[in-house]
Amino acid sequence: MSFDVPEDRNYLESHEWTTLEEDTVTVGITDFAQDELGDVVFVELPSEGDTVTAGDTFGVIESIKAVSDLYAPVSGEVTAVNEALFDQPELVNDDPFGDGWMLKINVSDDDTSDSLLTAAEYADQIA
Amino acid sequence: MIYEQARYTEGEDKHEPLLSEKDDTTINVGGDDSPLPDSLTRDELSLPALSEPEIARHYTRLSQMNWSIESGPYPLGSCTMKYNPKFTEDIAADPSAAIHPDRRAETAQGNLGMLYGLQEFLGTIGGMDAVTLQPPAGAAGEFTGILVAKAYHEAHGNDKSEVIIPASAHGTNFATAAMAGYEVVELPSAEDGRVDVDALEAAVSEDTAALMLTNPNTVGLFERDIVEIAEMVHDVGGLLYYDGANLNALLGRGRPGDMGFDIMHYNVHKTFATPHGGGGPGAGPVGVVEKLAPYLPSPQVEQTDNGFELFEPEQSIGKVHGFSGNWLVLIKAYAYIARLGDEGLLDASAKAVLNANYLASQIDLEVPYGPFHHEFAATAGDRDAADLAKRMLDFGVHPPTTKWPEMVPEAMLTEPTEIENQASLDDLAEAFNIAFGDSEDAIQQAPSRTTAKRIDQASAARNPRLSWHRLK
C-alpha cells in the first residue's frame, strides 16, 4: 500500500506533519499514521494560548485500535485549534493533510527544533 | 455441533426491546405534601407498566442472548475466567453470613474466624507473613500494596522515587505506581520474553522503590532468574511486588514469598473462582512479609486468648475500604479454598497448565514464546487478531484476549483454565483453526450466528448511546 506524502511540508519520525507560513506552524498527522491507527474516535488537543514544547506531547489521539500521544514539532504558543475534530474525529481519517489538521502554533524565538524530516526522508521511513 | 446464542432471526435490526420500548407510561405521582423545594420534586414519572411475566421473559431472554462461562468456554488470557461453583453461592446466601459488620467481636466469632482463616490460607498459599482482606478489587490491592511500600520507605527515611515495571505488565501496574506518586521506569523484555536482567541492572538504582512483576509472566513464561532479580532489587533497598494475576499457574507449587517477593495481591475472582466484579463488589487481598505488616490497612483479624478480634496495625496506612472488605466475596474464596484443600489446589494448577498446553498443541497458529504455563500468546501473524476473534464467536465459544501483550504481534492470549475438558478444548481448537483458515472476506463479515452481529465500533465510540434516554 502506498501513502500520500505531500512534498510541500516537513515531517516528524513520530508521524506528524508541519507546514510553516510566516511564524505560524500548522500540525497534523500523516496519511500513514491515520491508516495505522484505523478509525479515529477521539482527539484531545490543548487550548488556544497554551504553550507547547518541541518533542513533547501536545495531545492524544484515540482510535478503535489504540491510544497514541501526539508530539509537537516546534515550541511556541497555540494560536488555533481545529475544534471540528472534537465532533468529527473522522476528519483525521478522511483528510489528514487538510481538514484533519490539529493545531496552529506561533513559533517562539528560542525554538531550537531542527530535526524535521523532508518528504523524501519521511517516505523512506515508512517504505 | 455448534451451540448458538438465542437471537431474533427476522428483520435487520431486531433486538430484544428495552423495557422503555415495550411500554412508556407516564404516571402522576402528584401530591404537594413533600417538604422538599419544588425544584427537587416532580409530579410525573415515566415508568414501563409491564406484568411480571413480561419482565421475567425480558431478563431471561437477555441472559440467553448473553455469553458467559456458564454458556461455554471463555478463555480470556490473563483473566482466568473460572466457573463460579454454586456451593459457594449457597454458603454466601446462608442467613448467618448476613450479620452487621459493627457487631461486637464476641458475638461474631464464626465470621471473624472465617476472615482469620482466609488470611491464614492466603498467607500460606503466597508465602506471606501477614494478609489484609480489605481491598475491594485486584487493582485496589495493587494500589494498597504500593502504598504500604511507600509507607515503609517513608518510615525508614528511604528517599525513593521510582517503580520499575516490565513493558508487558498489566496496565494497572503503571497506573498504580503513578497514582502512588512514583515515576514509572519501563523495562523492555529480553528476546526470550522474560525480564531482561541486563536492562534491569541498568534500571535499578538507589531511587528504586519497587519492582512490580508477575510470575509466570504475561505470556505464561516462568521468570527463571527470579532469585537474581530479587537480589538486585533488594540490594538497593527496593521491594519486590508480585501481581497475583497469574497465581493460578503456581497454586501449591511455588510461592511468591519463597521467590523473594515482599508484597503481593491475590485476585480472588481469578485464582479462587469468585465472581469477576465487573465494577461490582470484588476483593483483592494483599499479603506482605513481616517487616511490612505494621503498615497494612485496618482492621485485620487476630487470634487471641479471647478468641478472634479486630485490631489496627501500629503504623497502618488506614482504611482502603469499609469494615473488613467485601465479606460476601471473601466468604466464597474461603469456601473454595477449604473445599479444594491442598490436593484440589495442586490439581487446579496442574490442569490449568495441561489444558493450556494441550490447546496450544491443537491449533494452527504459531505460539512464539515457551515453555508456557497456564496461558499462551498465539500470534495471528499477518491477520487481524480482533477479526479472527469475531469469527470464533460463530462457533459456540468465546475468543481469547486479543492484541495484548504487544510483544507478540496480533496476539491471541489464551487461558482455558482447569475447568475445560478435552471435548471443549477441541471445540476451542476447531474455532481457532476455522477462523485462521478462513478467507479475509469471510472474516470481515463475522460474526453471523451471534445475537448481535458485527458491531460498528467506530460509530459506537464516536456516537455512544449510554442511556435509554438517548432513544427518545
3-state secondary structure chain B: CCCCCCCCCCCCCCCCCCHHHHCCEEEECCCCCCCCCHHHCCCEEEECCCCHHHHHHHHHHHHHHCCCCCCCCCCECCCCCCCCCHHHHHHHCCHHHCCCCCCCHHHCHHHHHHHHHHHHHHHHHHCCCEEECCCCCHHHHHHHHHHHHHHHHHHCCCCCCEEEEECCCCHHHHHHHHHCCCEEEEECECCCCCECHHHHHHHCCCCEEEEEECCCCCCCECCCCHHHHHHHHHHCCCEEEEEHHHHHHCCCCCCHHHHCCCEEECCHHHHCCCCCCCCCCCCCCEEECHHHHHHCCCCEEEEECCEEEEECCCCCCCCCCCCCCCHHHHHHHHHHHHHHHHHHHHHHHHHHHHHHHHHHHHCCCECCCCCECCCEEEECCCCCHHHHHHHHHHHCCCCCEECCCCCCCCEEEECCCCCCCHHHHHHHHHHHHHHHHCCHHHHHHCCCCCCCCCCCHHHHHHCCCCCHHHHC
Percent share of chain B, pLDDT over 70: 98
CA distance B317 to B309: 19
If asked whether residues B95 and B158 sit together in one domain, one would say yes
Query: Three cell numbers at A2?
Result: 502506498
Distance (Å) from the alpha carbon of A108 to chain B's nearest alpha carbon: 30
Is residue B80 included in any domain, yes or no? no
Mutation pick from B387, B403, B404, B457 vs chain A, by most beta carbons of A within 10 Å, is: B457
Contacts of B457 in chain A (CB under 8 A): 39, 64
Contacts of A41 in chain B (CB under 8 A): 458, 461-462
pLDDT of amino acid B13:
64
Is residue B51 included in any domain, yes or no? no
Is residue A75 included in any domain, yes or no? yes
Model confidence band, residue B44 (pLDDT cutoffs 50, 70, 90): confident
Judged by DSSP in three states, A32 sits in helix
Q: B457–A39: do the CB atoms touch at under 8 Å?
A: yes
- Taking CA atoms, A113 is separated from A53, A117, B212, B425, in Å, by 9, 11, 37, 56
The model carries a pTM of 0.89
Q: Mean of the pLDDT values across residues B388-394?
A: 96
Percent share of chain A, pLDDT over 90: 83
**Residue B263 pairs with which residues in a beta bridge?**
B241, B288
Model confidence band, residue A22 (pLDDT cutoffs 50, 70, 90): confident
CA distance B398 to B390: 9
If asked whether residues B193 and B218 sit together in one domain, one would say yes
Q: How far apart are the first and last CA of chain B?
A: 41
Whether the ω angle into residue B405 lies within 30 degrees of 0, i.e. cis, is yes
ipTM: 0.75
Q: Give A73's DSSP letter.
A: S
Residue-wise pLDDT for B450-460, tens only, equals 998 888 888 88
pLDDT of amino acid A1:
65
Model confidence band, residue B80 (pLDDT cutoffs 50, 70, 90): very high
Residue-wise pLDDT for B85-131, tens only, equals 999 999 999 998 888 999 999 999 999 999 999 999 999 999 999 99
Q: Give A117's DSSP letter.
A: B
Is residue B30 included in any domain, yes or no? no
Domain stop point among B339, B366, B386: B339
If asked whether residues B323 and B359 sit together in one domain, one would say no
Residue-wise pLDDT for B49-73, tens only, equals 999 999 999 999 999 999 999 999 9
Is residue A121 included in any domain, yes or no? no
Is residue A25 included in any domain, yes or no? yes
Contacts of A42 in chain B (CB under 8 A): 461
Residue-wise pLDDT for A30-52, tens only, equals 999 999 999 999 999 999 999 99
Q: Mean of the pLDDT values across residues A88-111?
A: 92
Contacts of A39 in chain B (CB under 8 A): 457-458, 461
Q: Is the pLDDT of residue B245 over 90?
A: yes
Distance (Å) from the alpha carbon of B17 to chain A's nearest alpha carbon: 27
Residues A64 and B461 sit within 8 Å (Cβ to Cβ) = yes
Query: Three cell numbers at B178?
Result: 503513578
Domain stop point among B307, B339, B371: B339
In 3D, which of B179, B229, B175 has the Cα closest to residue B203?
Answer: B229
Q: Is the pLDDT of residue B252 over 70?
A: yes
Q: A90–B457: do the CB atoms touch at under 8 Å?
A: no
In 3D, which of B335, B389, B314 has the Cα closest to residue B117?
Answer: B335
Is residue B138 included in any domain, yes or no? yes
Q: Is the pLDDT of residue B279 over 70?
A: no
Percent share of chain B, pLDDT over 90: 82
pLDDT of amino acid B354:
98
pLDDT of amino acid A114:
67
Residues B384 and B410 sit within 8 Å (Cβ to Cβ) = yes
Q: Mean of the pLDDT values across residues B299-307?
A: 95
If asked whether residues B335 and B367 sit together in one domain, one would say no
Number of structural domains found in chain A: 1
Q: Is the pLDDT of residue B20 over 90?
A: no
Q: Is the pLDDT of residue B7 over 80?
A: yes
If asked whether residues B327 and B350 sit together in one domain, one would say no
pLDDT of amino acid B42:
85
Q: Is the pLDDT of residue A19 over 90?
A: yes
In 3D, which of B285, B322, B306, B281 has the Cα closest to residue B121?
Answer: B285
Q: B462–A65: do the CB atoms touch at under 8 Å?
A: no
Contacts of B462 in chain A (CB under 8 A): 41, 89-90
A-B contacts (CB, under 8 Å): 15
Mutation pick from A36, A37, A40, A41 vs chain B, by most beta carbons of B within 10 Å, is: A41
pLDDT of amino acid B472:
63
If asked whether residues B368 and B325 sit together in one domain, one would say no
| CATH code for the domain of B408 | 3.90.1150.10
Domain stop point among B317, B339, B361: B339
Distance (Å) from the alpha carbon of B41 to chain A's nearest alpha carbon: 34
Is residue B393 included in any domain, yes or no? yes
CA distance B406 to B254: 27
Q: A64–B457: do the CB atoms touch at under 8 Å?
A: yes
Q: B403–A64: do the CB atoms touch at under 8 Å?
A: no
pLDDT of amino acid A113:
61
Q: Is the pLDDT of residue B12 over 70?
A: no
CA distance B107 to B124: 28
| CATH code for the domain of A17 | 2.40.50.100
If asked whether residues B310 and B347 sit together in one domain, one would say no
pLDDT of amino acid A95:
97
Is residue B8 included in any domain, yes or no? no
Domain that holds residue A98: 10-109
Q: Mean of the pLDDT values across residues B440-446?
A: 92
pLDDT of amino acid B61:
94
Number of structural domains found in chain B: 2
If asked whether residues B256 and B136 sit together in one domain, one would say yes
Residue-wise pLDDT for B229-241, tens only, equals 999 999 999 999 9
Is residue A19 included in any domain, yes or no? yes
Nearest CA in chain A to B386: A65
Q: Mean of the pLDDT values across residues B164-190?
A: 95
Q: A90–B462: do the CB atoms touch at under 8 Å?
A: yes
If asked whether residues B284 and B351 sit together in one domain, one would say no
Domain that holds residue B347: 343-442
If asked whether residues B244 and B390 sit together in one domain, one would say no
Apex B111 CA angle, B106 and B116, nearest 5: 95
Q: B458–A42: do the CB atoms touch at under 8 Å?
A: no
Return the number of other C-beta atoms located less than 10 Å from residue B158's C-beta: 17
Residue-wise pLDDT for B140-174, tens only, equals 999 999 999 999 999 999 999 999 999 989 999 99
Q: Is the pLDDT of residue A17 over 90?
A: yes
If asked whether residues B298 and B192 sit together in one domain, one would say yes
Residues B374 and B248 sit within 8 Å (Cβ to Cβ) = yes
Residues B149 and B209 sit within 8 Å (Cβ to Cβ) = yes
Apex B396 CA angle, B393 and B400, nearest 5: 50
Contacts of A1 in chain B (CB under 8 A): none
Residue-wise pLDDT for B335-383, tens only, equals 999 999 999 999 999 999 999 999 999 999 999 999 999 999 999 999 9
Q: A89–B457: do the CB atoms touch at under 8 Å?
A: no
CA distance A18 to A25: 6
Cβ contacts of B408 within 8 Å, gap of 6 or more = B219, B368, B369, B377, B378, B379
pLDDT of amino acid B133:
97
pLDDT of amino acid B160:
98
If asked whether residues B321 and B246 sit together in one domain, one would say yes
Written as one letter, the residue type at B215 is: N
Q: Is the pLDDT of residue B211 over 80?
A: yes
Residues B238 and B210 sit within 8 Å (Cβ to Cβ) = yes
In 3D, which of B403, B409, B369, B406 has the Cα closest to residue B387?
Answer: B403
Long-range pairs, B33-42, Cβ under 8 A, ≥24 = none
Q: Is the pLDDT of residue B206 over 70?
A: yes
Q: Is the pLDDT of residue B468 over 90?
A: no
| CATH code for the domain of B283 | 3.40.640.10
